[in-house]
């Protein structure tokens, strides 16, 4: 069975299984934490769950608080939904309000069953609802579980085993009486391979040679050749650039200001993929390339320039602060918010941005986590001392370049000074010639009018010069009077221009960097409003990850570094072996671009609203293999494209 067909089959099977599980849950006693709290969190917490906003004095975060009720009395009567005010309002469509997301019939029925069953909880409730950062049920979500290397399954059809990928796929197929489809014909297979790895079809001669070879090694040799091609980085770098939101313009407003130096980040990505740069290093450079540089930024080595170009990843969010915006504070915070969205979706596979204004309605991401994450990047963005896109450019000039440019500029200025002197002489001579043509009695007045600054001229002087326009000779009109003199001046101007053209080219790189010794505080914004800061927060990773894994902490200010080192620490947190998200997210994206669909069909959302993995053991095996290989993307490519699973016919 071809993998695309297999995915459809297994997805349908999983959906049927989910239906069976749901039916089983119906038969069991309903639980507040498992069944009802997620509904309330998504639809009701906004008005009846936030610590500072509980309309009608009703808090639905704990069962005992609902039993106690609010201004209208008890919200629920355990064992009797018909007498429970909360259920009546939900059933009749009065709550949530129209502008909110109305509950489905299934959700209403879940609430009814739970109340009628006694409004049970899975465990004793805490004294305060604020003590619940996330429940055990939320903690149990598959994406937050530690990545453990599963055993490669034993299969019956060992003849089709080329890489461990085949064992995982075959084990699932054989369990239901299926097997892999026959291998694709050589021409189709080579087309598939080259299009996937390089984005180009094979040439006719190349195809003929491959078909004629027919040896078992021929395909593997083509895999090696394509992975070594410079076009590989262009193809797979593009996939990453799509994730990063790469654009050659700011994209914030109708002005759509151009980004003339964005291409340096693009080329950095292409080079990184071609070199098979370890992906953990790739992440570190993009998040904190500036923190890896020890030399001053005014004398960059090519290696330093490469590290700075990497931070272009954090400069891909739409940024309208270089143009005219209605609200500068909002525009600046939009840049920060969009940057955090790109980071979280691309590397964590989570919609962290949903927690900007309130606790995430579906995933265990409290609002405080969003601002802990923002604190990681705050010193580099620094909204209070904002730098617009033009101010975030760093010159690639070295001291030697500046010295050479200064000498050339001095040479050009010598020519310009001589040109200025001659120009004044030519103008003076031309003016004298024109004055001599006037009646003698007005020559002195004409000279005086000419010598008087324009703003200080009397009405009579202005009238005199207007009446005799030939007296208004200037650098721009000199050619009308003395073409030879004008040509000489033009030659000298061209000479100065030619001299300046000898200067070393001054390139620029778009960067995100911290200002040394300037560390702004980060505050939690009330309802996400930057004009309403609340408590101060320090940098940290996601609480849910720290709750299930021993991952490094993120310091407020790292010792021995010219910057806070927060982004370096965050990159270390992301790529730690015990972080359950990053490696899974990356290998899933690689799989997706080979098969058209990831093992997780929602590559940017591993949360509750995202899809569950169709082959969780394979996903975790690939993730552990990715880490064990030194985060080698090309290693994962080989495991996939050399597998019988990949080489099936359609």
DSSP letters of 330-375?
Answer: HHHHHHHHHHHHHHIIIII-S-GGGGSSSS-SSSS--HHHHHHHHH
pTM over 0.95: no
Element housing 162 (H / E): none
β partners of residue 533: 525
Q: Is the pLDDT at 311 greater than 60, yes or no?
A: yes
Closest to 233 (Cα-Cα) out of 203, 276, 280, 190 = 276
Contact between 450 and 470 under an 8 Å Cβ cutoff? The reply is: no
Q: Is the pLDDT at 8 greater than 60, yes or no?
A: no
Assign 12 to helix, strand or coil: helix
Distances from the Cα of 155 to the Cα of 148, 174, 180, 229, angstroms: 21, 8, 12, 35
Cα-Cα-Cα-Cα dihedral sign, residues 382, 306, 571, 263 = positive
The pLDDT tens digits of the residues spanning 164-209 come to 999 999 999 999 999 999 999 999 999 999 999 999 999 999 999 9
Contact between 507 and 401 under an 8 Å Cβ cutoff? The reply is: no
Contact between 224 and 217 under an 8 Å Cβ cutoff? The reply is: no
Q: Residue ranges per domain, the chain?
A: 1-29+134-180+581-650, 30-119, 186-228, 253-388+520-579, 399-506
In DSSP notation, 563-594 reads: S--HHHHHHHHHTSTT-SSHHHHHHHHHHHHH
Closest to 244 (Cα-Cα) out of 193, 157, 321, 312 = 312
Closest to 226 (Cα-Cα) out of 255, 201, 249, 261 = 201
The rounded distance, in Å, linking the Cα atoms of 95 and 58 is 13
Residue that is written with structure tokens 């370049």 in the block: 401
Q: Is the pLDDT at 539 greater than 60, yes or no?
A: yes
The rounded distance, in Å, linking the Cα atoms of 245 and 360 is 23
The pLDDT tens digits of the residues spanning 603-650 come to 999 999 999 999 999 999 999 999 999 999 999 999 999 999 999 998
- What is the CA 127 to chain-centroid distance, rounded? 40
Q: Is the pLDDT at 4 greater than 70, yes or no?
A: no
The rounded distance, in Å, linking the Cα atoms of 588 and 603 is 7
Which residues, at least 6 apart from 224, have a Cβ–Cβ distance to it below 8 Å? none
In DSSP notation, 230-288 reads: HHHHHHHHHHHHHHHT--SB--SSTT--B-TTTHHHHHHHHHHHHTT--HHHHHHHHHH
Lowest mean pLDDT: which of 52-56, 233-237, 457-461?
Answer: 52-56
Lowest mean pLDDT: which of 102-111, 126-135, 172-181, 502-511?
Answer: 126-135
The pLDDT tens digits of the residues spanning 265-309 come to 999 999 999 999 999 999 999 999 999 998 778 889 999 999 999
- 564 compared with 431, residue with greater pLDDT: 564
The rounded distance, in Å, linking the Cα atoms of 407 and 529 is 52
CB atoms within 10 A of CB 300: 20
Q: Is the pLDDT at 116 greater than 90, yes or no?
A: yes
Q: Is the pLDDT at 586 greater than 80, yes or no?
A: yes
β partners of residue 249: 258
The pLDDT tens digits of the residues spanning 519-534 come to 999 999 998 999 999 9
pLDDT, mean of residues 408-433:
91
Contact between 86 and 60 under an 8 Å Cβ cutoff? The reply is: yes
Closest to 326 (Cα-Cα) out of 251, 249, 253, 250 = 253
Closest to 619 (Cα-Cα) out of 584, 571, 577, 567 = 584
pLDDT at 441: 86
pLDDT, mean of residues 451-461:
89
Tokens of 54: 């509980």
- 591 compared with 451, residue with greater pLDDT: 591
pLDDT, mean of residues 137-162:
95
Lowest mean pLDDT: which of 211-215, 300-304, 550-554?
Answer: 550-554
């Amino acid at each position: 069975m071809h993998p695309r067909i297999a995915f459809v089959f297994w997805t349908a099977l999983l959906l049927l299984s989910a239906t069976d599980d749901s039916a089983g849950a119906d038969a069991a006693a309903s639980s507040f934490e498992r069944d009802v709290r997620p509904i309330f969190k998504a639809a009701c917490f906004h008005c009846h769950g936030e610590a500072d906003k509980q309309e009608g004095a009703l808090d639905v975060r704990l069962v005992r608080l609902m039993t106690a009720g609010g201004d209208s009395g008890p919200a629920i009567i355990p064992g009797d939904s018909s007498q429970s005010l909360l259920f009546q309002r939900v059933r009749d469509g009065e709550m949530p309000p129209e502008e909110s997301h109305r509950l489905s019939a299934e959700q209403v029925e879940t609430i009814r069953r739970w109340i009628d069953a006694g409004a049970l909880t899975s465990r004793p409730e805490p004294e305060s609802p604020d003590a619940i950062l996330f429940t055990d049920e939320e903690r149990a979500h598959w994406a937050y579980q530690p990545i453990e290397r599963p055993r490669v399954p034993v299969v019956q059809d060992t003849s089709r085993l080329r890489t461990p990928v085949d064992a995982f796929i075959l084990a699932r197929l054989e369990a239901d009486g299926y097997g892999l489809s026959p291998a694709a014909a050589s021409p189709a297979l080579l087309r598939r391979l080259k299009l996937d790895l390089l984005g180009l079809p094979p040439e006719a001669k190349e195809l003929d040679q491959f078909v004629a070879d027919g040896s078992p090694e021929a395909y593997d040799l083509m895999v090696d050749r394509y992975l070594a091609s410079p076009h590989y980085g262009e193809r797979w770098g593009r996939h990453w650039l799509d994730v990063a939101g790469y654009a050659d313009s700011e994209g914030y407003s109708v002005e759509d200001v151009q980004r003339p130096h964005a291409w340096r980040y693009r080329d950095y990505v292409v080079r990184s993929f071609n070199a098979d740069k370890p992906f953990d290093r790739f992440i570190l450079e993009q998040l904190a390339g500036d923190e890896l540089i020890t030399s001053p930024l005014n004398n960059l080595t090519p290696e330093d320039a490469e590290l700075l170009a990497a931070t272009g990843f954090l400069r891909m969010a739409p940024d309208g602060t270089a143009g005219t915006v209605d609200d500068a504070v909002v525009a600046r915070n939009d840049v920060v918010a969009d940057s955090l969205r790109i980071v979280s979706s691309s590397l964590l596979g989570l919609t962290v941005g949903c927690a900007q204004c309130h606790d995430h309605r579906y995933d265990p991401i409290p609002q405080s986590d969003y601002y802990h994450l923002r604190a990681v990047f705050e010193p580099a963005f620094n909204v209070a001392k904002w730098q617009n896109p033009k101010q975030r450019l760093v010159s690639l000039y070295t001291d030697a370049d500046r010295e050479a440019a200064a000498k050339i500029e001095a040479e050009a200025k010598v020519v310009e000074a001589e040109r200025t002197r001659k120009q004044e002489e030519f103008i003076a001579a031309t003016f004298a010639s024109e004055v001599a043509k006037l009646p003698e009695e007005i020559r002195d007045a004409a000279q005086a009018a000419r010598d008087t600054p324009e703003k200080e001229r009397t009405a009579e002087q202005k009238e005199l010069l207007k009446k005799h326009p030939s007296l208004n000779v200037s650098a721009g009109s000199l050619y009308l009077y003395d073409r030879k003199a004008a040509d000489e001046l033009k030659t000298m101007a061209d000479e100065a221009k030619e001299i300046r053209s000898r200067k070393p080219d001054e390139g620029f790189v778009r960067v995100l960097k911290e200002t040394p010794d300037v560390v702004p505080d980060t505050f939690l914004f009330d309802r996400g409003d930057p004009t309403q800061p609340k408590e101060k927060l320090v940098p940290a990773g996601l609480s849910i990850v720290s709750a299930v894994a021993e991952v490094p902490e993120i310091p407020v200010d790292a010792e021995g570094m010219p910057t806070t080192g927060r982004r370096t620490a965050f990159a270390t947190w992301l790529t730690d072996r015990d972080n359950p998200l990053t490696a899974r997210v990356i290998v899933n994206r690689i799989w997706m671009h080979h098969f058209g669909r990831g093992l997780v069909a929602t590559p940017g959302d591993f949360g509750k609203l995202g899809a569950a993995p169709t082959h969780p053991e394979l996903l975790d095996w690939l993730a552990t293999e990715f880490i064990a290989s030194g985060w080698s993307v090309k290693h994962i490519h080989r495991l996939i494209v050399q597998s019988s699973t990949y080489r099936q016919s359609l």
